[in-house]
Homo-oligomer: A and B are copies of this chain.
């Protein structure tokens, strides 16, 4: 609630142009809801507001279900990440949940209802649906696609952040959460493994013994414990304010340098030989050297202020 007030205050007072930049999630025909939600509500599964300073606020917006993931939510999140990846005016993304928590994870009742004739049909769709040439399926997209957004993505977590909800947050570049948030790698509760890209994101963050214990047991952690284990970057009283502050630091920097750093680390952190890693470092730097934004950043240190141009065209792929 405090988070919501904080967001409204941020959006309302400081970024008057935000309304014009709303990115609407597409509707997805396969996601017909059993509840009587109107079409308008479904279109609001995720709301995106782009501030004039390039910071996009993305909110999971199904508060009456604790932002649980039904098919429409999966589609809306993937769609949002894709749009933000191709929008060169986006300089940082803040991802949070509307209402009492970040996300309770998979909406089992909607996606795997045992009353249905084929209760696992939707889950099988999640595992098989993918774009041409994509390495990730729709289930993985909601976590993995944040990595393909050139701008840094910061998750601001409060309340529950369970299972699929946590895997969405793990796809962000940083995670801030409240001390009393509740987080869990919860899939074991359903006899499953985390399969929404956690095995790609966790390996860059945690020692494997910690990841195993949390996954085997499905234990629920407080925000403070999650920070001790580095499941979140840090624990703060107001994650949304912290995210905004870091985002403001980031938008002062060259958007090309920031995007290249993100690509560099994703590519080199795991599974890259030293020779290839060093070569990629050099190749990326060459694209930056002498470019408008690199010069703009440089002369700023000598008291000459030149505005940045939009990030270079970048398909967000590595």
Contacts and interface: CB of A to CB of B under 8 A. Distances in A.
A207 interface: yes
For the residues of A in contact with B, the DSSP-based class is helix
29 contacts: A120-B289, A127-B285, A135-B278, A137-B282, A139-B282, A173-B209, A189-B297, A189-B301, A190-B297, A191-B297, A192-B257, A193-B257, A193-B260, A193-B264, A193-B285, A195-B285, A197-B278, A198-B281, A199-B277, A200-B274, A203-B269, A204-B207, A210-B233, A215-B261, A217-B249, A270-B271, A271-B271, A271-B273, A271-B274
Interface in A87-115: 108, 112, 114
A302 B206 CA distance: 32
Contacts of A191: 253-254, 256-257, 288, 291, 293-298
Contacts of A174: 209, 212-213
A251 to B, nearest CB: 10
A13 B67 CA distance: 46
A230 B173 CA distance: 18
Interface of A: 108, 112, 114, 120, 123-124, 127, 135-137, 139-140, 144, 152, 173-175, 187-195, 197-200, 202-213, 215-219, 230, 233, 246, 249-250, 253-254, 256-258, 260-262, 264-265, 268-275, 277-282, 284-286, 288-291, 293-299, 301
Contact of A216 (B112, B258, B299): B258
